[in-house]
Amino acid sequence: MIEQLGLELSEYWSFSPETFKILAQRENTVFRAETNKGPIVIRMHRQGYHDFDEIQSELQFMAGVSLHLANTPCPIATKDGRLVVEHRGKIFTGLDWITGKTLKEYLSLTSSKRDLETIFFDLGGKLANFHIACDAWQPPPGFKRHSWNRSGLVGTNPFWGRFWENPDLHQDERDFMLKIKDRINAVLAGLEDSLDYGMIHADLIPDNVMIDEDELIFLDFDDCGFGFRIFDLATILQKQFIATSNFKAISTALVTGYKSHRKLETEHLDFFLAIRSLTYVGWIVDRYNFIDATERSRHYINNALLMCQRFQNDL
């Protein structure tokens, strides 16, 4: 089946069909293929998340930002110049091959506070430059992406789902999350007009940041859209809050690195850490086909409860 798919897709992109192999099966299925210029990535996008126009807009955004920001993956057009292909009811896209190791791998190899501060300072600077590139780029006519705005985060139907209806919540946990949701909505209503807003990556978890000879590269723009810039910082830090005792040093390094390149209101970072933790409680509900979905759901719930309780004074 893989061999046949590779043969069929090689009609769109110039690669050797026999080298077409599965690289990863997460939400999208990712393939590697060899061309006469080196390896490329072919993604088969999962159904029901983004439509054709939204995926094409993602590729247009990546192509535009790569003109302003070095070492960001660039889309690879088909032989006839298309960025997106619909084939047998599935949507496929091509991307540059990126070498290196993920930030997740890097973090697993070091616990040095100095090393962590260095990498997160650099990551903050990279993110600031990414946002500068986002502002320098003009969306083309028909550009279509979702929004991580107040409605998309804590509205009636958040983009990643109604987290307060996660079936794994106990009644007292559900009541708490409903109360927190209403409080966040009210606070954010008063803040949103003053917050830096524009295109964001929205999923800069350690798996989606590559390190290649000290160069930081952002991967997986599947969730990119319009949102609060501070949301990108919160996404980076959300996993670190639980994973390391050096959270304060990491957070300070990230913010300092960012502000060394670009201004940003960061006094509400704790507030957005709590918001980010809630989104995962909704995200997992549509992914109960994952092998470890039950364990992940409880992990996300416990994490959100801890972070919301920790930051209640800011809510």
| Percent of the chain residues past pLDDT 70, beyond the cut | 97
CB 233 within 8 A of CB 268: no
pLDDT at 305 over 90: yes
Q: What is the pLDDT of residue 170?
A: 97
Q: Note the pLDDT tens digit of each residue in 31-51.
A: 999 999 999 999 999 999 999
Where, residue-wise, is CATH 3.90.1200.10 in the chain?
A: 101-314
Any idea of the CA torsion for 184, 187, 192, 197, to the nearest 10 degrees? -40
> For residue 213, what pLDDT band results from cuts at 50, 70 and 90?
confident
**Is residue 245 over pLDDT 90?**
no
User: Which residue has 């300092």 as its token pair?
Assistant: 256
CA angle at residue 308 from 27 to 274, to 5 degrees? 50
Are the beta carbons of 15 and 94 closer than 8 angstroms? Answer: no
Task: Match domain 2-96 to its CATH number in 1.10.645.10, 3.30.200.20, 3.40.50.2300, 3.10.150.10.
Answer: 3.30.200.20
Give the pLDDT score at 243.
64
For range 161-184, the mean pLDDT: 96
Quick check: 71 pLDDT over 80? no
Q: How far, in Å, CA of 98 to CA of 75, rounded?
A: 12
Residue 163's closest CA among 149, 177, 184, 179?
177
Query: Residue for token digits 């650099």?
Result: 122
- CATH 3.30.200.20 placement within the chain: 2-96
In whole numbers, what is the pLDDT of the chain averaged over residues?
Answer: 93
Do 255 and 139 contact (CB within 8 A), yes or no?
A: no
> Residue 179 corresponds to which tokens in the numbers above?
């109360």
pLDDT of 93 above 90:
yes
Residue 29 DSSP one-character state: E
Residue 145, pLDDT above cutoff 70: yes
Tokens representing 97 are: 């091959």
Q: Which pair of tokens denotes residue 210?
A: 């590559």
Question: 93 and 43 in contact (C-beta within 8 Å)?
Answer: yes
Q: What is the DSSP string of 103-144?
A: HHHHHHH---HHHHHHHHHHHHHHHHHHHHHHHH--PPTT--
Which pLDDT tens digit goes with each residue over 247-263? Answer: 899 999 999 999 999 99
pLDDT score for 313: 63
CATH of domain 101-314: 3.90.1200.10
Confidence of residue 241 (pLDDT cuts 50, 70, 90): confident
Q: Which two tokens stand for residue 111?
A: 């616990």
Q: Are 97 and 41 in contact (CB under 8 A)?
A: yes
Model confidence at 74: pLDDT above 80: yes
Q: Say if residue 211's pLDDT is above 60.
A: yes
Q: What's the confidence (pLDDT) of residue 234?
A: 97
| pTM for the predicted model, two decimal places | 0.94
